[in-house]
Structures are given as structure tokens and as C-alpha cells.
Amino acid sequence: MKTTTLSPLLAVLFILLLALAPAWAQPPPGAQPPPKAASNLSSIKLPKGFRISYFAQNVPDARELALGPDGTVYVGTSGGGSKGKVYALPDKNRDGKADAVIPIASGLNSPNGVAVRQGSLYVAEINRIIRFDNIAANLRKPPRPVVVYDKLPDNPWHGMRYIAFGPDGLLYVPVGAPCNSCEPEKPIFGTINRLRPDGTGFQNVATGVRNTVGFDWHPQTKELWFTDNGRDMLGDNLPADELNRAPGPGSILASPITTPAMWPTPSLSAGKTPRCTPSPPTSWAPTWPRWA
């Protein structure tokens, strides 16, 4: 299978939201509290002609967003147990500010991924995908969720799912590597997959993907483009993270014995040959690519 990788420096048509720190980072003992939110906004560097303001506040652990046809923004979160909530942020007058913050589900297993299709809200937990039908008309009294697919691994390492519907009408869902750097025993790990909206037809799209945190499709070619975060514990500048594309189902993006950017894992790569071209050595935790 042909392998393809694109350097982030060549992706001039992409808008990438950059994570400011690793998701797993914790402040050391005695560390000063983070600056207030207003200071955070004012410190964000924007391209010429852009501006930034609050759409909503007090949405704990917010992660992936999905926009409904009526302007409601749905928010997946990274919380687990009682913290595992999904929120709706309606904006009926379309003024760019949420009218309310409405919890529509709680007690879920890190319900990170959200996607909207034909009036239904799809939510990806670590181990399953569920669906809330006719959600926009029932934000205050959401229906009981329908289980769409419940065969995803329950391993929490890289277990938060970013989901989206592709131009083919199928739902795409990744399964990250269950480790920092290893050869997974099960082929489901380190993949991007797709399935029909009813949960049938589960199919692999790409293999060798350590941890993607978002994807989008080229508006002309319809090819899948996605980010991939490299392994940890090799210093601040290595390995490189990636922006990749998958030409079609079954694409092989990297060998499991090397990092996604092909910087070898010493304990696994002896005598092995990488199967894709490395990106430049920079670590920047890219998320959510979008074609503009």
C-alpha cells in the first residue's frame, strides 16, 4: 500500500488549532495558578483580520465541538464518571454568543467526540458510540440515547475519540495506540476507521496512526487529512508531529515500531525500516485541521 505523509510546513491551506500544552500535563506542586481567561484571550496571537471573543464560558473539560443546522454548538468533554458530560450551546439569534449552557448528558465515559447528522447527535465515548435523536427540539429533555456501536476498546490511553461524518456519509472514528510507544497486540489500535450511521459496516481506513486529534476532507479530492501526535519522552523537540493524508481505505501511514514522524523508538526499531517520510523535527501538538 502506498504511504503518504505531508509536512505541516506545506499545508498552507489548512487552519490548525494548536494545543498550548500536552493534554496530560499537570502543574508541579507550588505552581502559580493559570492566568484568568480574559488574559488568555488577549495573549492569543491571531492572523491579520482575525478577532477572538467568548462564545460561551463555564463549559468544564470542553474538547470537540459540532455545529447543528440551527446554530446550536454541541460540546464533548474529556471528563469521566460523573464529569463525563455533553453540553448544548444554543444561539437562536445568531449573535455569536451562546444563549445558555445546557447539559444534555452526564455520567458518560469521556464523551469527547460529537457529530451531528440529520437531526441526531452522535457522541463517542471511549468504548462506544451513542446517538441522541431529534436533539435540537429536546435540549432540556433529551431522549434516551441509542447505542450505535459498542465494540471500541475501553483502554483509556489515547482513548478519547474525535469523530466526524465524511463526504461519503460515513462516521469516522480513530482508535489511538494504547501506550506511549509500543507494538499493539490488537490490530484495532493505532487506526482510523469508519462505519455507517446505524453502526454497521465497520471498516479500517488508515493504520499506523498513534494519536490523531482531528481530521477533515479535501474539498476537491475528498481525501482524508488528519493530524497525528508523536510519542513522548524524547525531549521537547522530538519527535515531529504530523499532518497526513489517507488516499483510501487501508492506507498504511507508519510502522508500529517507529514514531509517527519516523524518529525511532530505541527499544523497538533496531534493524527495522520506516515506511513513511518524516516531518521536520518539531513538536507542536496540532489538532483539528480544517480546509478553508
Tens-place pLDDT, residues 64-102: 999 999 999 999 999 877 789 999 999 999 999 999 999
pTM: 0.77
User: Is pLDDT at 195 greater than 90 in this prediction?
Assistant: yes
216 or 254, which is more confident?
216
Mean pLDDT, the chain, whole residue set? 77
pLDDT tens for 146-159 read 999 999 998 887 77
pLDDT of residue 160: 86
pLDDT tens for 256-278 read 333 444 344 555 544 444 443 33
pLDDT-based confidence at residue 40 (cuts at 50, 70, 90): confident
Whether the CB-CB separation of 177 and 157 falls below 8 Å is answered with yes
Q: Hey, what domains does the chain have and what are their CATH numbers?
A: 1-19+166-292 (no CATH), 54-164 (2.40.10.500)
pLDDT tens for 15-29 read 333 333 333 334 445
